[in-house]
């Protein structure tokens, strides 16, 4: 390949966002912090993404392998917090909390932060979901 062709290939790669990575470069891990609170004491089921699935098929085949469930008692002023490292938080970061069936309305709030920046918040009387994508 000529030098001109290589130059144009490099420019195209940059413009298209497909510049080749060297062996030393790789996926950049991101610090993800999930926080869930409630306005009143309540039992909560919290599902969260702890690791990146390798492929969508892996996730689809067994989502609970990548989304553990925490059964906790939330109290005002005592949040549930989990920190994870994800390579693709825009694709996989997610936390959801619910009080399940019953008349309790604890008013859940969730927060999702990536690399110290809050990127998603949500609240609801019986549950909340924070994510960067629609599930």
Cα-flanking dihedrals φ and ψ of residue 43, to 5°? Answer: -80, 135
What are the extents of the domains in the chain?
25-131
How confident is residue 119, by pLDDT bands cut at 50, 70 and 90? very high
Q: Are 45 and 97 in contact (CB under 8 A)?
A: yes
DSSP 74-85: EBTTB-EEEEEE
pLDDT for 25 equals: 76
Strand, coil or helix: 28: coil
Q: Of 42, 85, 82, 47, nearest to 63 (Cα)? A: 47
71-106 tens-digit pLDDT = 999 999 999 999 999 999 999 999 999 987 777 889
β-bridge partners, 80 = 36
**Continuous H helices in the chain:** 3-16, 56-61, 63-66, 89-92
β-bridge partners, 71 = 45
Fold of 25-131: Immunoglobulin-like (2.60.40)
Q: Of 127, 130, 128, nearest to 118 (Cα)? A: 130
For residue 24, pLDDT beyond 70: no
- What is the C-alpha to C-alpha distance for residues 19 and 127, in angstroms, rounded to an integer? 42
- What is the C-alpha to C-alpha distance for residues 24 and 34, in angstroms, rounded to an integer? 30
């Amino acid at each position: 390949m000529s030098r001109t062709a290589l130059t144009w290939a490099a420019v195209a790669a940059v413009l298209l966002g497909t510049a080749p990575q060297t062996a030393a470069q790789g996926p950049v891990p991101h610090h993800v912090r999930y926080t869930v609170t409630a306005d009143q004491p309540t039992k909560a089921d919290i599902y969260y993404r702890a690791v990146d699935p390798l492929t969508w098929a892996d996730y689809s085949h067994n989502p609970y392998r990548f989304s553990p469930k925490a059964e906790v008692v939330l109290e005002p002023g005592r949040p549930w917090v989990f920190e994870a490292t994800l390579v693709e938080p825009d694709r996989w970061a997610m936390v959801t909390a619910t009080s399940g069936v019953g008349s309790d309305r604890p008013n859940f709030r969730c927060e999702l932060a990536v690399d110290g920046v809050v990127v998603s918040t949500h609240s609801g009387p019986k549950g909340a979901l924070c994510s960067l994508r629609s599930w």
